[in-house]
Structure 1
Amino acid sequence: MWNSLKSLFSKSATGPTDVAASASSAAPSSDSTNPISQRAETPAQTRGQIQAQANQLIDTGNQCEEQGQLERALAQYQAAAELAPWFPRAHLNLGNLRLLHGDAVAALRFYEEAARLDPHYAAAHFNRGNAHFQLAQLKQAEAAYRQALTLQPDFIDAAVALGAVLDQQHAYEAAIEIYRSVLVKVPNYAQVHRNLALCLQKKNRFLEAIQSLRHALALAPQLADTHVALANALRDIGRVKEAEPQYRQALQLEPQNWDAYHGLLFALNYRPEYPPQILFEEARQFGLTLAQAFPARMETNHIEKMEEFSKPRRLRIGFVSGDLRNHPVGYFLESVVSALRDFHPDLELIAFSTYDAHSNPDHAQLDDLARHFQQRCHAWHPVAHLQPAQLEDLVLQNQIDILIDLAGHNAYNRLGLFSRKCAPVQVSWLGYFATTGLSSIDYLMADPISLPADQEPFFTEKIWRLPETRLCFSAPRSKVEVNPLPALNKGYLQFACFNHIAKMNEAVVALWSRVLAAVPHSRLLLKSPPLVEALAQEDTLARFAAHGIGADRIVFAGLSSREDYFRAFHDVDICLDPFPYTGGTTTMESLWMGVPVISLTGQHFLARQGQGLLVNAGLSDWVAQNEDDYVRLAVDWAQNVDKLASLRAHLREQIMRAPVGDAERFAEHFADALRQMWQRHRASNIEQ
């Protein structure tokens, strides 16, 4: 969290330099909580002279910091504090050095002492807020920033920081208001335009966000993170071709901008014109770059003596993810974790949650699914606030045998941890659908359907196939029931796609237009967050109009609550899967609501995800072999609504009994795979 926060402030706000040009004096104090233990009474007539000497020491310390001489800087600040223990500026600078070294707890003590010595010292309250922010103490950070602004209303950095902490607390409208007020005073503050855009995105105001980001880049084209933010926004409204050069520009500016790399590799999966060889080479290059920054550790994790290899013990399985919560990854993982815990006592499950809201000390932002994982795993570690080295140490301390990445290039990933090889066996599973590009990850879990043998050369990981399916669906925590087929009452068929609009490339629009043309009076419901905006709707209608489909055939829906999301299926007869980026969670949730999905088979892993799910749900006849077959399936089922209604009535029960929904069956296969991986590792060590 702190790394992302630093980019929001000016240098004086985040760096170790003194943020105040001067400080008022305060009365002496004998408070034992002062971080400076040595304290002496100073005659009033010499206080000004001593303060001037202390200021000189601090100024010299600031110069040392600028030159990277941190030890000398520390010595200057300590001398200033010992000379004038009542001088708040000395404590402030000592706190800044502690914060620079990642010790926010120690820094906070110095900042609090500076604020105690001078309660009107706005810089002390501001930096106190920074320390609280680094410690994920968001409410305390917010209060400190507000105090700084009360004392100094024109304290721009404090206002920007307040916007950031409101953003972290999901108070997006309040953050937007703060950022707009800053821009009234400082209209050319590029980073604030960027921060504003990020909040607008979270309120699904994508086009406004893009406008703000373009403004930010016009002011500061050298800011790589702003190029990344613009690329993400463009990708999220389906303009992936425009997003790609923005990611690449960010990487030219900062070759180790990991967010740019993750975004680029993720976005390339939306591009059907790129063959697997290109995607593989891009990922492999990322892996090489990451390995240079995070080389594998020389020491081996918890080396076992040779004679101990044969002794039975529980395998320690670590899950690393930012999605151990109400999120698609969490929805698939929920029943699997429970089945592993209940039926496989030889496995010890340890969760490392990288989601920032989970690092709040009081766990106030754990949702119901996060609490489930916290209770069902043997250990739960919120780690978003940890620096890379701290996370490595925690994993090593937990003596993880098999470390599983559930994120890939998605948000909140910690691939740098996997590059360091902090566990003997490392695995990629569930959260990503292509190679990570890391040679340090030993295996990628797949299945016989979703990943053909001829695709294995396009993975840096060895492919480990589970016998049936790589994914297991958990029944949603929803009380929404399946309703009768709506076409029986409406007199027309309604198709739908609830996948993100970014998956709807031109080939998809063309094929869906063929479906609508072949099924008279049918309609297509598109439900995706960007479609709340009128301009996004107009753009989508224009894309279908180019294929002869009128606006009366397209229905839009945006973001909704989870319960309303499920209720939206009550108006849907058949769902249409996009390609080559097929659905995963949306496919299974559609089936759970009794709505079958037509999916087009593909050649590579991601393009066959829909096929793998449908076959393992007992719906292999819903997989189209080509585009003509896709249209034929839509027409055939539209002409047989009685059969479609019958399927709808029992589909929920069918999928939960099938391999894709049987968690106990899946956990058996999954646990067996983990044991075999460990046996291979032990055998290779014995041979050596």
Structure 2
Amino acid sequence: MVKSTGPSSPEAAVLKALAELHRTRQFDALYQQATVLVARFPQSFALHSFAGAAARALGFSEKAERAFETALRLAPEDPGSHFNLALLASDQGDLTTACARYRAVLAIDADHVQALNNLGSLLTLLDDIPAAIAALNRARAVSPRSPEVHISLGNAFKRAGRIVDARAAYGRALEADPACASAYGNLGALELEHGDLARAGAAYRAALACEPEHAALRVELLHLLAKECDWDAIAAERPLIAQMGVTTPAVAPFGVLALEDHPERQLERSRKWAARQCRSAAAPMPARPRTRPERLRIGIFGSDFHDHPAMHLMAGLLGAIDRERFELHAFNYGHQPEDAYRRQARNLVDEFHDVAGWSDARIVARAHAAGIDIALDRKGHTTGSRVELFAGRPAPVQIHYLAYPGTVCVPAIDYMIADPVVVPSAQRCFVAERVIFLPHCYQPNNDQRPIAPLATERGDHGLPEQGFVFCCFNATYKITPREFAIWMRLLHAINGSVLWLYRDNDRAVANLQKHAAQHGIDPARLVFAPRMPSPEHLARHVHADLFLDCFAMGAHTTASDALWAGLPVVARAGEQFAARVSASLLRAVGLPELVTETDAQYETLIVALAEDRPRLAALRARLAANRQTHPLFDTALYARHFESGLTAAWERWYAGLEPADIVVNAV
């Protein structure tokens, strides 16, 4: 990093001693000694470089910048100062300046591998994928055995959706360094995202064998184990879970939601993760217009404009928004192929912006050109997230909505949309954003969702014609031993009953069957439902008698699916947002008696309903009637409340007021 002594430098032995302090990370001593020496040798490039490096390590950004700028003036032909200034700009979140500095390095030394690698990595973060791949291919040509370069190239390929190329790049990194935890970790994430759980698990375990203290990788493995329902393996890690992302470095918070119900620790995980993910400096707030626009322009930013639960929920809302007051823009940065849901989204918004592969800066510029007034972040801390682009302020008001069930802690996000059930007053302190409280349920629902005509019988799904069918179509990672033990007691209590579960993956099926046998239940009483198109999936709910929700992370879209299809849901309300969604849905559909507060209440209520068929039939009849009369499935009513919340947030900004909690009154 530091080279070339330049004129008027101290003796070589002194510089060697400073270099040793730098190597051993004794930055306090390095800063003190370099600062004293700079006063004696003000023309020494090396001393200013050492002083800047120490100041940067100690967090003295302004002093570091002054030192590096001085070094640059003393030796403008040396790429080291540009490189150091690039590192500093990256530390400060100014990725655009960092890229410019790396390009300045390359103008002097076109084969500077670290500059090529770092530039490519930053361009990947900014979603300028073609430029990223070009820089990284150049780095690979210069240094074909560098694991870091191959990993960076794999990350760029992954971001571009080039899965085979990404896998090959991670493989080349491991050929160069068979003990590279980062390469194994990135490979594991790639395999998990694309459904190969066996290969993902092997990669994560190999990564942790190389680096046992890597908390983020451990959480990724735990989430994988949860998907597989490998509870014995999770139990071995259970003492560590509470500290993951709290006392350890940052971890992806989504992976912990189903492992524990603890809103305070989830707040800290989100805070740390946001600090790691959102490195760009905040852009200034846009100037207020002189006059209020006739229509507020709403920008919806996400990657789920395809056959995805979020699109199933939002389609009705998009069609119900008052176009005389609002203009809708979709900004799609997902790489999924065109499908019927994408075409539907195009038809439901005023303008559909295909921005996949665009840099953050380019997307923000497009949003500014479109005059977006309110930006909705539709991803949060979930797969495909691009929360960093909101640092560029695509809109003066920015709101997290619907995707990640909890606080995101992104400084540029002003609000989160919730309701008084998912964020009760006792939990409000664990939400970093200001909250827009909708009066009934935060979740939109589409009252035009098609349900296919019933064309099957129970036997077609492997279900008994007469027995009681308990149902849970949640993703398998949400199921834990706690609720599963209750479900097994229910099967013991209700003769001839079965449990109908979603077939997520073969490993989960085998493990759930094993767990059932351990509880003394014939594994054949667990019936597994494969993935089906939404209309047919909704139709098959008629064959179930009662939906049983999970605890730490319950059913969200899955619960509204069941209720829309006419199937009652029993909820056990927890503490965190993710554990309270089905409770919110049930209250909004007029069935609050199906919300329980303890495990014992949950089990007792389910047994009572299973043993009292007339009572359950009356509940189903009420649900069928309430679908037409209660707020949950009144899409037009939801749209009015949603519009009121967004308008109130924008009016506060227009009036020069800071964001504040907004309570939307029912109309």
What's the TM-score, normalizing by structure 1? 0.66
- Out of 221, 232, 245, the position equivalent to 1:230 is 221
Counterparts in 2 of 1:207-286, with a 5 A limit?
Answer: 207-218=198-209, 229-238=220-229, 242=237, 261=251, 263=252, 265-272=253-260, 274=262, 276-286=263-273
Q: Give the secondary structure class of the aligned counterpart of 1:370.
A: helix
Distance in 1 (CA, whole Å) between partners of 2:527 and 2:178 is: 40
Distance in 2 (CA, whole Å) between partners of 1:411 and 1:468 is: 28
Counterpart of 1:346? 325
* Paired letter, 2:326: L
* Cα distance change of structure 1 residues 183 and 548 upon mapping to structure 2, 3 Å threshold: same
Counterparts in 2 of 1:143-542, with a 5 A limit?
Answer: 188=178, 197-198=188-189, 200-202=191-193, 204-218=195-209, 229-238=220-229, 242=237, 261=251, 263=252, 265-272=253-260, 274=262, 276-287=263-274, 293-297=279-283, 299-305=284-290, 308=291, 311=292, 313-340=294-321, 343-355=322-334, 357=335, 365-419=337-391, 421-474=393-446, 478-482=450-454, 490-530=465-505, 532-533=506-507, 536-542=508-514
Distance in 2 (CA, whole Å) between partners of 1:249 and 1:624 is: 29
Distance in 1 (CA, whole Å) between partners of 2:557 and 2:501 is: 16
Q: Give the secondary structure class of the aligned counterpart of 2:645.
A: helix
Counterparts in 2 of 1:591-630, with a 5 A limit?
Answer: 591-630=563-602
Q: Give the secondary structure class of the aligned counterpart of 1:684.
A: coil
Are 2:539 and 1:577 equivalent residues in the alignment? no
* Cα distance change of structure 1 residues 538 and 187 upon mapping to structure 2, 3 Å threshold: farther
Task: Indicate the RMSD between aligned Cα atoms, in angstroms.
Answer: 4.9
Counterpart of 2:107? 74
Q: CA deviation at 1:610?
A: 0.6
Deviations 1:24-47 (A, max 9, x none): xxxxxxxxxxxxxxxxxxxxxxxx
Distance in 1 (CA, whole Å) between partners of 2:273 and 2:119 is: 33
Q: Give the secondary structure class of the aligned counterpart of 1:582.
A: coil
Q: CA deviation at 1:175?
A: 7.2
Q: CA deviation at 1:584?
A: 0.9
Counterparts in 2 of 1:113-128, with a 5 A limit?
Answer: none
* Cα distance change of structure 1 residues 451 and 665 upon mapping to structure 2, 3 Å threshold: same
Deviations 1:621-643 (A, max 9, x none): 32234333323332333234356
Are 2:553 and 1:553 equivalent residues in the alignment? no
Distance in 1 (CA, whole Å) between partners of 2:490 and 2:117 is: 63
Q: When the two structures are aligned, how many residues end up with a matched partner?
A: 554
Q: Give the secondary structure class of the aligned counterpart of 1:416.
A: helix
**Could you tell me the percent identity over the aligned residues?**
25
Q: CA deviation at 1:664?
A: 1.1
Deviations 1:530-574 (A, max 9, x none): 3x22xx334324434454434243233454554664455354221
Distance in 2 (CA, whole Å) between partners of 1:420 and 1:246 is: 34
- Out of 656, 664, 668, the position equivalent to 2:640 is 668
* 8 A Cα contact 2:267 2:430, kept in partner: yes
* Paired letter, 2:268: E
Distance in 1 (CA, whole Å) between partners of 2:497 and 2:119 is: 65
Distance in 1 (CA, whole Å) between partners of 2:267 and 2:518 is: 34
Greater shift after overlay, 218-227 or 468-477? Answer: 218-227
Greater shift after overlay, 323-332 or 665-674? Answer: 323-332
Distance in 1 (CA, whole Å) between partners of 2:417 and 2:578 is: 13
Counterpart of 2:37? none
Q: CA deviation at 1:520?
A: 2.1
Q: Give the secondary structure class of the aligned counterpart of 2:580.
A: helix
Q: CA deviation at 1:375?
A: 2.6
Deviations 1:550-608 (A, max 9, x none): 42432334545546644553542211011131211111112233322111233443322
The unaligned stretches of length 5 or more in structure 1 are 1-59, 78-88, 109-126, 135-140, 142-147, 149-153, 359-364
Q: CA deviation at 1:467?
A: 1.9
Q: CA deviation at 1:497?
A: 0.8
* Cα distance change of structure 1 residues 492 and 171 upon mapping to structure 2, 3 Å threshold: farther
* Cα distance change of structure 1 residues 633 and 410 upon mapping to structure 2, 3 Å threshold: same
* Cα distance change of structure 1 residues 66 and 267 upon mapping to structure 2, 3 Å threshold: closer
* 8 A Cα contact 2:215 2:244, kept in partner: yes
Counterparts in 2 of 1:22-171, with a 5 A limit?
Answer: 70-71=103-104, 73-74=106-107, 130-131=133-134
* Cα distance change of structure 1 residues 249 and 417 upon mapping to structure 2, 3 Å threshold: same
Counterpart of 1:684? 656
* Cα distance change of structure 1 residues 165 and 565 upon mapping to structure 2, 3 Å threshold: farther
Distance in 1 (CA, whole Å) between partners of 2:174 and 2:270 is: 42
Q: Give the secondary structure class of the aligned counterpart of 1:586.
A: helix
Q: CA deviation at 1:451?
A: 2.6
* Paired letter, 2:315: E
What's the TM-score, normalizing by structure 2? 0.68
* 8 A Cα contact 1:232 1:243, kept in partner: no
* 8 A Cα contact 1:508 1:578, kept in partner: yes
* Cα distance change of structure 1 residues 444 and 200 upon mapping to structure 2, 3 Å threshold: closer
* 8 A Cα contact 1:402 1:426, kept in partner: yes
The unaligned stretches of length 5 or more in structure 2 are 1-76, 87-101, 660-667
Q: Give the secondary structure class of the aligned counterpart of 2:633.
A: coil
* 8 A Cα contact 2:553 2:578, kept in partner: yes
* Cα distance change of structure 1 residues 160 and 563 upon mapping to structure 2, 3 Å threshold: farther
Q: CA deviation at 1:354?
A: 3.0
* 8 A Cα contact 1:326 1:369, kept in partner: yes
* 8 A Cα contact 1:196 1:212, kept in partner: yes
* Paired letter, 2:487: W
Deviations 1:420-466 (A, max 9, x none): 55532222221122111235433222223333222212211222221
* Cα distance change of structure 1 residues 489 and 496 upon mapping to structure 2, 3 Å threshold: closer
Q: CA deviation at 1:503?
A: 1.5
Distance in 2 (CA, whole Å) between partners of 1:187 and 1:155 is: 8
Q: CA deviation at 1:166?
A: 9.1
* Cα distance change of structure 1 residues 678 and 201 upon mapping to structure 2, 3 Å threshold: closer
Distance in 2 (CA, whole Å) between partners of 1:633 and 1:312 is: 52
Q: Give the secondary structure class of the aligned counterpart of 1:435.
A: coil
Q: CA deviation at 1:517?
A: 2.7
Greater shift after overlay, 451-460 or 439-448? Answer: 439-448
* 8 A Cα contact 2:652 2:658, kept in partner: no
* 8 A Cα contact 1:496 1:574, kept in partner: yes
* Cα distance change of structure 1 residues 483 and 70 upon mapping to structure 2, 3 Å threshold: closer
Deviations 1:206-252 (A, max 9, x none): 23420133234545779898666535423433566749969988999
Q: Give the secondary structure class of the aligned counterpart of 1:431.
A: coil
Q: CA deviation at 1:476?
A: 7.3
Distance in 2 (CA, whole Å) between partners of 1:250 and 1:602 is: 21
Q: Give the secondary structure class of the aligned counterpart of 2:376.
A: strand
Q: Give the secondary structure class of the aligned counterpart of 1:556.
A: strand
Q: Give the secondary structure class of the aligned counterpart of 1:212.
A: helix
